[in-house]
Chains A and B, each alone.
Chain A
């Protein structure tokens, strides 16, 4: 009886946390710090999930529209950096600075997100260990639209 209950409890816990475990990984395993990205687009989707928050943007390319997906830090880490759930509303124009996935796909790890309307920069809680969040650094390559 006790063994069965313990097995049930373990199975349930495994089911509940498997998605979180799969989503957690080292930066270097997935992203290439040498592949710098500086890319502008419009937010189409945001997922506030643990252990990482994700968002997607549409980017006008030479041959149509590309969809890029970006990983950020945890929701809690972002909120400590000034983010709210409304910061990246659908349709927000952003400039994303970060690094690309090792496989060359349209996925990346965001170091900072710049809101194009105001040129407000928000650090994205990257798991890249050697990235320094320098609040005093100028926000370059952005002209406020409002």
Chain B
């Protein structure tokens, strides 16, 4: 009897921690910069959603949002690739997710290609 009640309270206490789980590590609102090879910096925001493991999203969500045409994650290496048809030309972001257990400092860092332009990017989850 006592052990059952103890287990009940333990489960109740842990339930708060379970509520805090967010699901897919790429899901969420991200902000960061693209830095071109020439040093030009462009601020971008990403909004990524997950539907049963299928990723989708938008670049610069809001009035001028651009829908991501393809989002793929290689879970073995945590490499996330995002394709989007930006007004300035198609862009491909390829980078790795890191600090996956962090609420505030999860990172998505890599390189991008837009036409003949290339550069680096660095996003942090909001």
Chain A interfacial positions (CB closer than 8 Å to B): 1, 4-5, 8-9, 11-12, 15-16, 19, 42, 44-45, 56, 58, 65, 67, 89-93, 117, 145
Contacts and interface: CB of A to CB of B under 8 A. Distances in A.
Given A8-B6, A42-B45, A15 B13 contact: yes
Contacts of B2: 1, 4-5
B5 A91 contact: no
A117 to B, nearest CB: 7
B63 A145 contact: yes
A113 to B, nearest CB: 15
B62 A92 contact: yes
B16 to A, nearest CB: 6
A62 B117 CA distance: 27
Nearest to B31: A44
A117 B64 CA distance: 12
Interface of B: 2, 5-6, 9, 12-13, 16, 29, 31, 43, 45, 47, 58, 60-63, 65, 126
Nearest to B58: A91
15 contacts: A5-B2, A8-B5, A12-B9, A12-B12, A15-B16, A44-B126, A65-B31, A90-B29, A90-B61, A91-B47, A91-B60, A91-B61, A91-B62, A92-B62, A93-B63
A143 B98 CA distance: 41
Nearest to B16: A16
- Quick one: which of A12, A19, A92 has the most chain B CB within 10 A? A12
Contact of A42 (B6, B13, B16, B62): B62
Nearest to B5: A5
Contacts of B29: 44-45, 90
A93 B5 CA distance: 50
A89 B65 CA distance: 12
A66 to B, nearest CB: 12
Nearest to B12: A12
Nearest to A44: B126
A58 B123 CA distance: 14
A93 B62 contact: yes
A145 B45 CA distance: 20
